[in-house]
Structure 1
Amino acid sequence: MSQPTVVFLDRATIPEQIILPQLKMDHIWREYDFTSPELTLERSLGAQVLISNKVVLNADILSQLPELKLIAVCATGVNNVDLDYCAAHGIAVTNIQGYATQCVPEHVVAMMFALRRNLKGYHQDIEAGEWQRNKQFCFFTHPIGDIAGSTLGIIGGGVLGQAMAQLAKALGMKVIFAEHKGSSTCRSGYMPFQDVLQQSDILTLHCPLTEQTRNLIGRDEFTQMKSSAILINTGRGGLVDESALVEALEQGYIAGAGVDVFTQEPADEGNPLIANAQLPNLLLTPHVAWGSDSAITKLVGILIDNIDGYFSGHEQNRVI
């Protein structure tokens, strides 16, 4: 094969201070900070390798790329790629695994402490002049809870879920894992989904987004949770019904929520969570739980190894 052309469709999803390692093979490299749907096909033409973090590669686009050999997804989730088309037409797909086992759990813990101790609510109260009106050395407008001794429910028992469990146990938490929703039997080490909802003081999501998990947590689930419970979603936005989450916070079905992922990204002002971002018990971050410098440095190393591995005949992190 002549020098393969490698096209990175959304390089700006990697912070500019992170340097990508060089591929071992001779190649032609093209990169674009962002690629809109209207430009995806044009920029992908002639590529043997496409690198995409979130750019959608559907069957319509892929069918017009006869030279494409490999899609190297620059993330763990591959729901932006038509995997059925790739499998049927011999296009290999790789993803990144195991790079965020420290930073995602740490982000969850940061949200957990901020929400349990109502740090946002207290910050807002200070801004509003509550301390001056109160005329005491401190004031208590929101409940403050401890993390140690509480129960963490985890939905998703993969690498991230297990890493989350390890960190939570180090904080003195009891950890329980949820079996698949609707399952009539439980694997060893798992509890029925409904039981986890009812027993968790904090519920954290680490499962993939599929048709089976879309809106996994909705109004019915919120009404089964403790009124003192906190939900944290660093998985995928579609796992949670966002309108139902706002209702749950406003009606007191749950005590708080930390959200790092949204049904559409970037989320606009029409998103229920963005429209209610001022709620003192709602903490929002822009899909950055995975994004510590050390984690992204590890990610890009795996990305380049995946591409080198494909061309050297050493398969790794193959989805297809």
Structure 2
Amino acid sequence: MIIVVLDAATLAGVDLSPLMKFGTVTTYDHTTAEQVHHRIQDANVVISNKVQLNESHFVQAPKLKLICVAATGTNNIDLAAARAAGIAVTNVAGYSTPSVVQHTFTLLGNLMTNIHRYAEDCRNGAWQKSPMFCRLDHSINEIANKRFVIVGYGNLGQAVANVAEAFGAQVIIAERPNSKEVRRGRMAFEEALEVADIVSIHCPLTPQTENVFNADTLALLPKHAILINTARGGIVDEHALAQALKSNQLAAAGVDVLSSEPAQPDNPLIQYRGDNLLLTPHTAWASKESIGRLVAGIAENIDSYLNGGQTNRVV
């Protein structure tokens, strides 16, 4: 069996030996759209994180039987064309939950205790010049007793809720935006924003959630609120967020995802220079352990397919 990994660099050098028991594994760190045809033409299995695959690729890869998406989202694959070509498609769900939860609270903890500002002060010699044993130049706040609003209550949202409760926060589950009913145990979306001290986003990007955090909804948040987005960039209107941070309409934000990735130089959050924004390059999912679970999940998917199973089958 010939297995081709199109964007192995996204696996950060994690051991791929679990895949080698199935056949020959050829890896490419990166694959451009122009290189796809040549690289998959003899493949039986293709593994791709973000490389897009469509009908034109399938026509020129007659031996291709299985596409393993090295992620949860499958939007980079033309699923209808894969189905028509008789190509199975799998994904891996849940592998990154511990990593994303940790990153969420790393961003939040830094912002609430202003660790990034204090660390910079130490590098600049401020502590050495202090008239007392410590510095108290920047606000330090606790998660305990804060109203912690979670938008998106799937596996990730629930895991974040558990940690927030362990910190002593009052967890509020926001109902879906524009929902006509509020389910038991939830609060209407706009009402939740109005009382939030912290908002953490964990919903998927859909037509219903695109730019759901915009100038109007961000204005509902109290001025002391902190927004964390480790979900998808398109859920937040980046121009509106940058303006809210600049005008102190919002206290701070931690962002791991942008609407266009890799980041573009003209993105308003890339251009923003205020120290009330922490921006990381889509790394919340990428702990060493997380990627190890991802590779193990891909191996499980291949094994299941070869034995007639349906593990993680999308198509």
Question: Could you say whether these structures have the same fold, taking a TM-score greater than 0.5 normalized by the shorter chain as the test?
Answer: yes
Name the counterpart of 2:175.
Answer: 179
Q: Pick the aligned partner of 1:22 from 15, 19, 23.
A: 19
Q: Secondary structure at the match of 1:175?
A: strand
CA distance in 2, matches of 1:188, 1:64: 51
Name the counterpart of 1:307.
Answer: 302
Q: Secondary structure at the match of 2:168?
A: coil
Task: Indicate if the aligned counterparts of 1:260 and 1:287 stay in contact, CA closer than 8 A.
Answer: yes
Name the counterpart of 1:8.
Answer: 5
Q: What is the identity percentage for the equivalent residue pairs of Structure 1 and Structure 2?
A: 45
Name the counterpart of 2:139.
Answer: 143
2:67 aligned with 1:71: yes
Q: Which amino acid aligns with 1:298?
A: R
Task: Indicate if the aligned counterparts of 1:9 and 1:33 stay in contact, CA closer than 8 A.
Answer: yes
Task: Indicate if the aligned counterparts of 1:44 and 1:50 stay in contact, CA closer than 8 A.
Answer: yes
Offset at residue 85 of structure 1 (A): 2.9
Task: Indicate if the aligned counterparts of 1:120 and 1:281 stay in contact, CA closer than 8 A.
Answer: no
CA distance in 1, matches of 2:31, 2:257: 20
Task: Indicate if the aligned counterparts of 2:14 and 2:292 stay in contact, CA closer than 8 A.
Answer: no
CA distance in 2, matches of 1:212, 1:69: 34
Offset at residue 251 of structure 1 (A): 1.0
After the TM superposition, which of the residue ranges 242-251 and 65-74 deviates more from structure 2?
Answer: 65-74
- Could you say if the C-alpha distance between residues 136 and 222 of structure 1 is closer, same or farther in structure 2, counting changes exceeding 3 Å? same
CA distance in 1, matches of 2:59, 2:237: 33
Deviations 1:237-258 (A, max 9, x none): 2111112111111111211111
Aligned-pair RMSD on alpha carbons?
2.1
Name the counterpart of 2:29.
Answer: 33
Offset at residue 10 of structure 1 (A): 0.5
CA distance in 2, matches of 1:310, 1:119: 48
Deviations 1:4-27 (A, max 9, x none): 3221100111121434413554x3
Gaps of 5+ in 2: none
Name the counterpart of 1:205.
Answer: 201
Offset at residue 89 of structure 1 (A): 4.0
Name the counterpart of 2:234.
Answer: 238
Q: Pick the aligned partner of 2:53 from 44, 49, 57.
A: 57
Q: Pick the aligned partner of 1:292 from 273, 287, 301.
A: 287
4+ runs deviating over 6 angstroms: none
Q: Secondary structure at the match of 2:19?
A: coil
Q: Secondary structure at the match of 2:34?
A: helix
Task: Indicate if the aligned counterparts of 1:260 and 1:286 stay in contact, CA closer than 8 A.
Answer: yes
How many pairs are equivalent?
A: 315
Task: Indicate if the aligned counterparts of 2:19 and 2:25 stay in contact, CA closer than 8 A.
Answer: no
2:219 aligned with 1:228: no
Task: Indicate if the aligned counterparts of 1:124 and 1:280 stay in contact, CA closer than 8 A.
Answer: no
Deviations 1:205-239 (A, max 9, x none): 11122222222211111101111111111111211
Name the counterpart of 1:252.
Answer: 248
CA distance in 1, matches of 2:173, 2:64: 40
TM-score by length of 1: 0.91
Q: Secondary structure at the match of 1:56?
A: coil
Q: Secondary structure at the match of 1:38?
A: coil
CA distance in 1, matches of 2:54, 2:149: 35
CA distance in 1, matches of 2:14, 2:80: 35
Name the counterpart of 1:103.
Answer: 99
CA distance in 1, matches of 2:312, 2:218: 36
- Where does 1:120-131 land on structure 2 (aligned, <5 Å)? 120-127=116-123, 130-131=126-127
CA distance in 2, matches of 1:218, 1:59: 36
Q: Pick the aligned partner of 1:263 from 259, 264, 275.
A: 259
Name the counterpart of 2:275.
Answer: 280
Offset at residue 313 of structure 1 (A): 0.9
Deviations 1:23-70 (A, max 9, x none): 554x33221011112212221223232111111223443454343322
CA distance in 1, matches of 2:17, 2:177: 40
Q: Which amino acid aligns with 1:21?
A: P
- Could you say if the C-alpha distance between residues 162 and 251 of structure 1 is closer, same or farther in structure 2, counting changes exceeding 3 Å? same
